[in-house]
Amino acid sequence: MFFTDSVRGLQAGAPVEFRGIRPGTVAQVPLFLPGVTQDLHTHYRVPVLIRIEPGRFISGMGQHFNLDQRLQDGKKRGLRAALKTGNLLSGSLYIDVDFYDHAAPYQSPAKVAGYDVAPQPVPD
């Protein structure tokens, strides 16, 4: 994921939630990859690596649940990720994934350095 918002307060181990269900966890923030540079002069986006843990929810979805296909379909239907405050006192953040009715079409690359990219909502 790439965020244009401040990631201060987001740490490895923070939850990734979809409507209160935790399908994953933040793995690395910011994400640094050998040989991959971030052009902060034009993009101003902070890369964050998350780990989706399909076992947390696939058991209730049936044997033929295709997570990759569901995520691709979701991107087309407005599935986006946003930073949310988890604790006002500590300033900790988590990643909230949900559908946004008026989300602009997803225009970022599908993969960066072999990782799938999840879209972030465009601010109002």
- pTM, rounded to two decimals: 0.79
CB neighbourhood size of 63 (10 A): 6
Rounded Cα–Cα distance for residues 96 and 74 (Å) = 14
CB neighbourhood size of 79 (10 A): 21
In the chain, count H helices and then E strands.
1, 9
Task: State whether residue 14 is helix, strand or coil.
Answer: coil
Q: What is the pLDDT of residues 13-60, one digit of tens each?
A: 999 998 888 889 999 998 887 766 666 566 677 889 999 887 766 666
Task: Name beta bridge partners: 75.
Answer: none
Rounded Cα–Cα distance for residues 12 and 115 (Å) = 17
